[in-house]
Structure 1
Amino acid sequence: MRASLRALLAALFSLGLLLAAGTAPAQADIVDKDTAPRPRFITYNVCGASSTCEDRVDTTAQTEWRKAVVHAIDYWETDLVMLQEVCYEQWNLLRDHLANRSGTKYDTVWGAALPSAAGCARWDPDPNDGVAPDLRFGLAIFAKGEPGTIDRTTRTVDFLPEPVTAENRILLCARTTVTGRSVRACNTHIDFRAANTKAQIRHVADLTRGFAAKGDPVVLAGDFNEVPKHDDLNPLYSHGTGSTGVFQEVDENDKDRFAGADCPQTADRCRSGEPTASTACSEHTTSDKKIDYIFLSDDWFTTVRGDAVACSGVADHHLLRGAAAWEK
């Protein structure tokens, strides 16, 4: 067995132990799966094509990756899952399993940001069949339920502005049923270049504010490549200095993360949260910071909860899970 594969399997085994024991949060606060409200959410940058993450050209390694992600979804009894940096064949791997297994099933939609990413070759389902794999790269949304849970007629893919020419970034949205209620689910991955980050977050905020204005409960999740208090996130947050948005965020009430004059311990919530990118997850990360989010429209959700799961070796981000109750 190759050394890289042995390392991957060891990491996946560790992830299974963490999740099964219910002790996965990366930091001090624990959001208990037995007491957390519903609906429940996951967002995860799964590093499908990056050279900084494990190669998975071996079928065994691909299957073990799928098992680890599915276990995380099932452990949290997740209603809505948002995945970023997903290769098309990687999405197929999850889609087919979650749609066809016995028991709880998930419906899904996909959106391509790039028509081809060389790193996606690692997800070739059969490298020896002489058929080139589909190398598209983008985002995926999974919703708990049978086929038709997600209304594909409402699926939209909006390409985000690029003041600085870079990799295409998109906002993928669709209306879906979540715990019996109709929700507009949106998933994105914002570029890290400063000018793009600002412009793209503002565009995402405009689009999702429009959905909320029409009366849709909105769940917006993804990798935003910016920390909570940064001005770039003002158009999303409904609270905090300079905020003009319509969203709360699942991990905004962890007082262990409150800091600064605008985040006193007496506050009920603050633009804050556990790191989702850390030196523990990737040697290419230089500092610990929160850059992944699950935003919920203020008018429709209450009692938010969230935490970042410990690093597993599956990806270079922490998986972020959240929960909330319906406001009305």
Structure 2
Amino acid sequence: MGLHDIRRRGARFVIAGALAAVLSPATVAVPAEAATPHAYTVWQWNVAGNTIHDGSTTDGMVDQAAASIVNRAADFAGFNELCKGQYDALVTALRAKGWPADTQNFARFEPSRPAGNSSVCNGEEFGNALFSKQPPGTAARIALPDDGSAEKRNLLCAPLSGTPAIRFCTTHITTNQSFNVAQLDAVRQKLEAYHAAGETVLISGDFNAQPHYGRLNPFYAPSLDVPNNGDNTGAYRELDDNDTGNCLGYGEWTADGTPGAAPPCGGKAKIDLIFVRESALAGSYSEDSLAISTSCTGVAACSDHRIVVGTVTVA
């Protein structure tokens, strides 16, 4: 069975002092009066739970996901295209591995397709999920502009119960080009609302947009101005945008066979992203995409997306 949101009454903490001033993509200065910095590891995977796994909980995907979350010492994990049965199996698997600090309160699920369609997830719900090592608070479940398809895209967010100024979100943006920008704008506006309320948000997901696309310029901060990613007007940094070893400003590819404009450094597309607001940075950050496993039974590959793992220090 899946977990239900547990409403908790907690004291709100007001972060005093100025946020860290960003000097470069990986170097920051932290004022003495700033809040104590904390490092978080974010783990993200679009698992193609219906398309590739047909809703299976026993073909190896769930076990591999749970093992990777634990092995990578993730604080937060985001999933896209997850069937409800797979979510329930992940809850069980992560409990068994002793990952959550509170085994009764660490997971949230929000469907983008309801139950009842036998051709999707064997009739189960299908959508996004987030997991938090420390207990999360009440989840916000935000509907994104409707693209008219059967899949109703959403933004799923939850604060940390013990540190409500820290919030983790995950989303899956439509491939429909007529609505992709509208959904991206809706997500960004919500992130800015959280920022205005004094929160620091870490967001991961399948954005169905590559870093150098113009429609992500309102996300990336102007401080990122390189040949592979310029003309930016936003307030955020993506945790792989400082990757000089692969493609500075872009990062490593994450999606196999994704159509669209070719990546600036060749190879395959990067559409699975982890963002944090630049003003919240209080130290270095980095990100890696992991090779897609071929160990799931009955399929050639465990997903058509790579797992993405990023670590960032925020105030």
Do both share a fold (TM > 0.5)? Answer: yes
Task: Report the Cα offset of residue 49 of structure 1.
Answer: 1.2
Equivalent pair of 2:55/2:85 in contact (CA under 8 Å): no
Please say if 1:288 is aligned against 2:268. Answer: yes
Cα pair distance change 1:196/1:271, threshold 3 Å: farther
2:91 to 78, 92, 95: 95
**Match in the other structure for 1:4:** none
Task: Report the Cα offset of residue 318 of structure 1.
Answer: 0.5
Please say if 1:304 is aligned against 2:278. Answer: no
Structure 1 unaligned residues grouped into runs of 5+: 1-36, 123-132, 259-269
Task: Report the Cα offset of residue 294 of structure 1.
Answer: 0.6
Equivalent pair of 1:159/1:168 in contact (CA under 8 Å): yes
Task: Report the Cα offset of residue 174 of structure 1.
Answer: 1.4
**Match in the other structure for 2:308:** 320
SS in 1 for 2:141: strand
Task: Report the Cα offset of residue 81 of structure 1.
Answer: 0.5
Structure 2 unaligned residues grouped into runs of 5+: 1-37, 294-300
Q: Deviations for 1:149-206, whole angstroms, at most 9, x for unmatched residues? A: 1112xx221111135656311111111258x674111111000111111111011111
User: Aligned runs of 1:59-138 on 2, under 5 Å?
Assistant: 60-61=58-59, 64-98=60-94, 100-101=95-96, 103-105=98-100, 107-116=106-115, 117-122=117-122, 135-138=124-127
Task: Report the Cα offset of residue 271 of structure 1.
Answer: 3.2
1:211 to 194, 202, 211: 194
Look up the equivalent residue of 2:313 and give its one-letter code. A
Is the helix fraction higher in 1 or 2?
Answer: 1
CA distance in 1, matches of 2:190, 2:66: 30
CA distance in 1, matches of 2:160, 2:118: 32
**Match in the other structure for 1:28:** none
User: Aligned runs of 1:156-171 on 2, under 5 Å?
Assistant: 156-162=140-146, 165=149, 167-171=151-155
Equivalent pair of 1:44/1:320 in contact (CA under 8 Å): yes
Look up the equivalent residue of 1:209 and give its one-letter code. E
Task: Report the Cα offset of residue 311 of structure 1.
Answer: 1.1
- Provide TM-score, normalisation by structure 2: 0.73
Equivalent pair of 1:162/1:199 in contact (CA under 8 Å): no
Please say if 1:151 is aligned against 2:151. Answer: no
Identity of counterpart residues, as a percentage? 28
Look up the equivalent residue of 2:73 and give its one-letter code. E
Query: For the aligned residues, what is the CA RMSD?
Result: 2.7
Task: Report the Cα offset of residue 76 of structure 1.
Answer: 0.6
CA distance in 2, matches of 1:207, 1:56: 31
- Provide TM-score, normalisation by structure 1: 0.71
**Match in the other structure for 1:255:** 244
CA distance in 1, matches of 2:209, 2:55: 29
Q: Deviations for 1:215-270, whole angstroms, at most 9, x for unmatched residues? A: 10111110001110111112211234332322111111111333xxxxxxxxxxx5
User: Aligned runs of 1:8-27 on 2, under 5 Å?
Assistant: none
Equivalent pair of 2:54/2:121 in contact (CA under 8 Å): no
Q: Number of aligned residue pairs: give it.
A: 255
